Amino acid sequence: MVVLNKIYTKTGDDGTTALGTGERRLKYDLRVEAYGTVDEANACIGIARVQLSADNGDIDAMLSRIQNDLFDLGADLATPDTGVKLEYEPLRIVHAQVERIEGDIDTLNARLSPLRSFILPGGSPAAAALHLARTVARRAERAMVELGERPGEHVNAEGIKYMNRVSDFLFVAARAVNDNGADDVLWVPGENR
């Protein structure tokens, strides 16, 4: 259980932050950047959720589960697997979470007609917010992949898969809230030449 009875600790005043292992890293460290960007994507999803109409209750429930999973992912990233035994079992993204979001993508995608063009972010305010969340999720995924390529760093492969599916889900959800694609804004290549 998490207990936060004091919000400021002053321990980060030197420009460092603590990982779940107790190790301190600079606040611009790529691991901190990765889980910070996951948190940013989560906040963007929150903005999208408050813009959903009442008839999008199923999408809101899916997004609620994703937001909780993104906190799991942040905990996963904040506790690197260093091979050292910890006093507790660190929280990790597992394959069942990837499978669940894939099922949600399939459910929403079944309602949509195939795309014949790329789409521009927009349509409804909720769709535009979901597209913004999608781009932030992609940035988080890129940071996670880069981190995993660095010597001495480890990133849970299921976490990378999960983040990849989050951005896929957000794309499909944006189309779904745009009247199942009817209100999508299509890209017209070279239209303004």
Q: How many domains does the chain have?
A: 1
Containing structural domain, residue 105: 24-113+120-182
142 and 86 in contact (C-beta within 8 Å)?
no
Place of tokens 């889900």: 169
> Cα dist. 148→24, 36, 76, 137 in Å?
19, 16, 13, 17
Is 1 part of any domain? no
CATH code for the domain of 141: 1.20.1200.10
140 and 125 in contact (C-beta within 8 Å)?
no
What does pLDDT average to in each consecutive run of 10 residues of the chain (193 residues)? 73 86 86 97 98 95 98 96 86 98 98 92 96 98 98 96 98 97 94 94
Residue 86 is predicted with a pLDDT of 85
pTM confidence score:
0.93
Is 36 part of any domain? yes
Is 99 part of any domain? yes
Is 93 part of any domain? yes
